């Protein structure tokens, strides 16, 4: 099947060819015909499957015919959990819609100044991409006219649910015409998502594409056991010195740790910078632009901030701290191995992380092989890791249980708090974590001097 077979508007097909796509991905093959025939859909598709084009191409196709209702408000509304994802969706809309005349795409995101957004909203708009918290503010102030809205897309609905945005999403949906077409994309279509779909969608077609598991096949997953913070830092240094590493994302548990580690790496001579939800939009955009242009080699990030980053040169993802949820592990390591390239995902774990590792392995269905670097061997042998696999025992399973000293990775306070939008309380709504009272890994460690001021990359 080709894009021509999908009967999309010729201007859209032309833009797809410019993008270099020759064949629709499975989600595109399944979703686009249903959407063009007017059905609601709920699709389980993750980042990397081509899901953005799966909804954006039919959305643009719809814009190729004049609106039936006279208004200046959006005809398509896309809700996303994070600002980064929203910006990527807006970029995709512009890329695929470049030959459609006068197609106006705007983003309304937490952390952006209100006056600018008010100005954007006072002009005619075709596609509005927004994070729910900030959009609700504008709706409540009567700044958005949804009279001519024809399509509502809920992107990463599971994430919006996890982040406590679902009440906002439902309120936004209720402000739009009931005649709209509604699309829900989610990593999983479980009970909670079904409930949301039952409220917001009309007899949706369910679409399931191969899980991210299959996508992980081109990513080599490695595990390094660490004794303490100093050992962890030496291992990180070793991994970063690998010449095969073009660009890397290093994940920390907290925003504060991301800053401290980025500063420390920068001071050691790495082109490194942090990305997290406490940075304002300008700083975040500047950092991402620098990463895209190759001006940064190491990005130190928290989970939500790094979601959706799609850069082919990211050869390595390093879990300096393991993520709290197995699902986040998949999202993290999916930042490498993009566009068919091979990627390497390195995770640091202490002996106390065995149960956690087991959950991750069960979720991905893949074993993470334990690696030892000569000269950087862990002093204390890790516990056996009974991951419930039927295959050959791993290096870790053969090892004996032993106590583990000074672990930092086992703490309970992994952070994803307040990533939705700095300065916008609504974008954090419903998230109850706080990192203020947690023990920072750096405060336990001895290699980082977080009181020291390092020069920041500009
Ligand atoms: P997404 O799942 O929307 O994050 O898309 C993942 C990546 O796949 C993006 O870099 C897209 O530009 C790319 N992509 C989307 N559709 C296609 C296609 N049909 N062929 C090749 N690449 C695609």
pLDDT digits (tens, 9 = 90+) for 4-15: 999 999 999 999
**Residue among 239, 228, 235 at smallest CA distance from 376:** 235
Ligand 1 in reach of 99 Cβ (< 6 A): no
Nearest CA to ligand 1 atom 20: 21
**Is it the case that residue 358 has pLDDT exceeding 80?**
yes
Mean pLDDT over 74-78 rounds to 98
Lowest-confidence pick of 38-42, 60-64, 247-251, 412-416: 412-416
**Is it the case that residue 392 has pLDDT exceeding 60?**
no
**Residue among 344, 323, 352, 345 at smallest CA distance from 226:** 352
Q: What is the pTM of this model?
A: 0.59
Q: Which residue has the higher pLDDT, 210 or 323?
A: 323
Mean pLDDT over 315-323 rounds to 96
User: Token match 């952070």: residue?
Assistant: 415
> What one-character-per-residue DSSP string does 63-75 give?
HTS--SS--SS-S
Region label for 318, one of left (φ > 0), alpha (ψ between -120 and 50) or beta (otherwise):
beta
Mean pLDDT over 101-116 rounds to 92
Structure token digits, residue 226: 């660490």
**Is it the case that residue 112 has pLDDT exceeding 90?**
no
**Is it the case that residue 157 has pLDDT exceeding 80?**
yes
Q: Tens digits of per-residue pLDDT, 370-389? A: 999 999 999 877 655 544 44
Mean pLDDT over 411-427 rounds to 30
Q: Which atom of ligand 1 is nearest to the CA of 52?
A: 3
Percent of the chain with pLDDT over 90: 60
Inter-residue contact 361 to 386 (CB < 8 Å): no
If pLDDT is split at 50, 70 and 90, which confidence band does 126 have? very high
> What one-character-per-residue DSSP string does 380-411 give?
SPPPP------SSPPHHHHSPP----S-STT-
Q: What pLDDT score was predicted for residue 300?
A: 97
Residue 399: other Cβ atoms inside 10 A: 18
Mean pLDDT over 189-195 rounds to 87
Inter-residue contact 424 to 111 (CB < 8 Å): yes
CA 174 from chain centre, in angstroms, equals 27
Mean pLDDT over 146-159 rounds to 95
User: Token match 């479980």: residue?
Assistant: 190
Q: What pLDDT score was predicted for residue 246?
A: 96
* Phi, psi (rounded to 5 degrees) for 192: -65, -40
DSSP-based helix, strand, coil % in the chain, nearest 5: 40, 15, 45
- State the average pLDDT for the chain: 82
Alpha carbon of 322 to ligand 1 centroid (Å): 28
**Is it the case that residue 260 has pLDDT exceeding 90?**
yes
The best mutation among 30, 49, 50 to test binding of ligand 1, ranked by most ligand atoms within 8 Å of the C-beta, falls on 50
Sign of the torsion angle spanned by Cα atoms 248, 249, 251, 256: positive
Q: Nearest 5 degrees, angle CA 190-CA 321-CA 397?
A: 80
Pairwise CA distance, residues 86 & 308, whole Å: 9
């Amino acid at each position: 099947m080709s894009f021509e077979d999908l009967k999309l508007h010729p201007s859209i097909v032309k833009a797809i060819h410019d993008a270099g796509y020759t064949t629709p991905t499975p989600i595109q093959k399944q979703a686009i015909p249903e959407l063009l025939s007017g059905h609601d859909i709920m699709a389980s598709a993750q980042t990397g499957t081509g899901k953005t084009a799966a909804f954006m191409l039919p959305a643009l196709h719809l814009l190729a015919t004049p609106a039936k209702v006279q208004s200046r408000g959006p005809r398509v509304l896309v809700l996303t959990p994070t600002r980064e994802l929203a910006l990527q969706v807006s970029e995709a809309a512009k890329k695929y819609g470049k030959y459609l005349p006068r197609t106006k795409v705007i983003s309304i995101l937490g952390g952006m100044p209100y006056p600018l957004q008010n100005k954007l909203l006072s002009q005619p708009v075709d596609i509005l991409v927004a994070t729910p918290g900030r959009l609700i503010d504008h709706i409540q102030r009567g700044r958005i006219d949804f009279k001519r809205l024809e399509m509502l897309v809920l992107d990463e609905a599971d994430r919006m649910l996890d982040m406590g945005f679902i009440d906002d999403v439902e309120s936004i949906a209720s402000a739009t015409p009931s005649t709209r077409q509604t699309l829900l994309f989610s990593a999983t279509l479980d009970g909670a998502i079904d409930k949301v779909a039952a409220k917001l969608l009309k007899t949706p077609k369910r679409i399931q594409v191969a899980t991210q598991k299959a996508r992980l096949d081109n990513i080599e997953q490695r595990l390094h056991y660490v004794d303490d913070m100093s050992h962890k830092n030496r291992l990180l240094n070793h991994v970063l010195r690998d010449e095969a590493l073009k660009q890397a994302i290093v994940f920390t548990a907290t925003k504060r740790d991301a800053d401290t580690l980025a500063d420390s790496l920068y001071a050691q001579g790495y082109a490194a910078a942090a990305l997290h939800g406490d940075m304002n939009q300008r700083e975040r955009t500047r950092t991402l632009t620098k990463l895209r242009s190759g001006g940064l080699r190491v990005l130190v990030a928290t989970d939500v901030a790094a979601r959706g980053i799609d850069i082919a040169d990211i050869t390595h993802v390093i879990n300096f701290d393991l993520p709290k949820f197995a699902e986040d592990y998949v999202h993290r390591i999916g930042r490498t191995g993009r566009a068919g390239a091979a990627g390497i995902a390195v995770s640091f774990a202490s002996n106390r992380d065995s149960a956690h590792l087991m959950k991750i392995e069960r979720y991905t269905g893949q074993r993470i092989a334990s690696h030892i670097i000569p000269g950087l061997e862990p002093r204390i042998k890790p516990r056996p890791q009974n991951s419930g696999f039927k295959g050959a025992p791993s290096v870790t399973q053969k090892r004996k249980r032993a106590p583990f000293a000074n672990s930092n990775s086992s703490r309970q306070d992994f952070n994803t708090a307040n990533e939705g939008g700095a300065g916008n309380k609504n974008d954090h709504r419903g998230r109850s974590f706080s990192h203020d009272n947690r023990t920072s890994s750096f405060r336990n460690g001895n290699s980082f001097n977080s009181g020291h001021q390092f020069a920041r990359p500009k």
